[in-house]
Chain A
Amino acid sequence: MSASATQTALYVYGVVALRDVPSLEQDPAVEIVQEDALAAITRVVSLDEYGEDTLRENLNDREWLEENARAHEDVLLAVAAVADVVPFRFGTICRTADDVRALLAEQRDALTAGLERIRGCVELGVKLWADRDRVEAALAPQEPAAESGRAYLEARRNEQRRAADIQAMCNEVARGAYDRLLRLAVAGVVNRPQPRELTGRTEDMLLNAAFLVTAGDRSIAEEVERLDRELRDLGFSVEVTGPWPAHNFVAAEGEAE
């Protein structure tokens, strides 16, 4: 045991209320570290894998990243199925259980407030996409080809106006969709849309939102379906993902998010 103490550490997945611990189905690899009314969901990991330098390297290994990001989420999902859980960011490592307890003590108020905020809730992700060509086609018919210099200038001006109109319409649709969904949610956040380089899709992501909703509440999903139907002919589509643990709604106090 003493030899391993220098080489292992505790990976912290998240925090639950101590009273919820009995309902957790215990994954034998997972250890509960408790302090006062809070309990951390942890696992012993090797510093060969999660030490600062090796973690940095491992994060650049796509297979490692995928496997471990999924493992992180799987543990949180299993916990979230039976208890409210405040998810920690991937790769939160403490050297010892005492350090985890110190962390829980130090952050008690923020973690307790986080648990309170997400109680009985799950997170849903909503994305709104625009197929610009179809949006343009839906907005205004294509101008006939210009034949004279003056007509050319006129066409250019129209084109610029149309581009501005399309942008305005996209903004309006995104704002309107977010507002409609927010009314059905406990809370909502708007994240930066992911660039095409990452999504690999031909459509532009106009809205990348997350909503906190009561677990089992279908109203957001149904509204997304409605929005998708309403907007489809205009070149937009709306998608929902989840339920996720409430990653987007647990930022500690003082964080910009």
Chain B
Amino acid sequence: MTALAQDDITLLELVDRVLNKGVVLAGDITLSVADVDLVYVGLRVLLASAGTLDRLANEGAAA
């Protein structure tokens, strides 16, 4: 398996927090955040860089 470099682990930590946590204000007033499954998108990008995109796509579909 392609291991993520140290920088990537930090990025994973970051994405896990920044895209997955924090206050979500969905509604008419906000434009973007409500509508995008950020976690899935963000993690998919990280995975793609680790060369295992297909596997996540499958797991995501099954989840």
Interface residues of A (CB under 8 A from B): 9, 14-15, 50-52, 55-56, 59-62, 65-66, 69-70, 72-73, 86-95, 99, 102-103, 106-107, 110-111, 114, 125, 191, 194-201, 241, 244, 247-248, 250-252, 255, 257
Contacts and interface: CB of A to CB of B under 8 A. Distances in A.
20 contacts: A14-B23, A50-B31, A55-B32, A59-B36, A59-B41, A60-B41, A62-B45, A65-B15, A65-B42, A89-B22, A89-B23, A90-B33, A91-B36, A95-B31, A99-B30, A103-B30, A125-B13, A199-B12, A247-B18, A248-B21
Contact of B19 (A56, A69, A107, A111): A69
B45 A60 contact: yes
Interface residues of B, number: 43
B17 A244 contact: yes
A92 B32 contact: yes
Nearest to A255: B24
Chain B contact residues: helix, strand, loop or mixed = helix
Contacts of A201: 3
A105 B13 CA distance: 32
Contacts of A52: 31-32, 35-36
Interface of B: 1-4, 8-9, 11-19, 21-25, 27, 29-33, 35-36, 38, 41-50, 52, 55-56, 59
Contacts of B45: 59-62, 65
B23 A86 contact: yes
Contacts of B14: 69-70, 73
B47 A197 contact: yes
A200 B50 CA distance: 8
Contacts of B9: 199-200
Nearest to A9: B31
Contacts of A62: 45-46, 48-49
Nearest to B10: A241
Contacts of A56: 36, 41
B21 A251 contact: yes
B41 A92 contact: no
Contacts of A55: 32, 36
A82 to B, nearest CB: 19
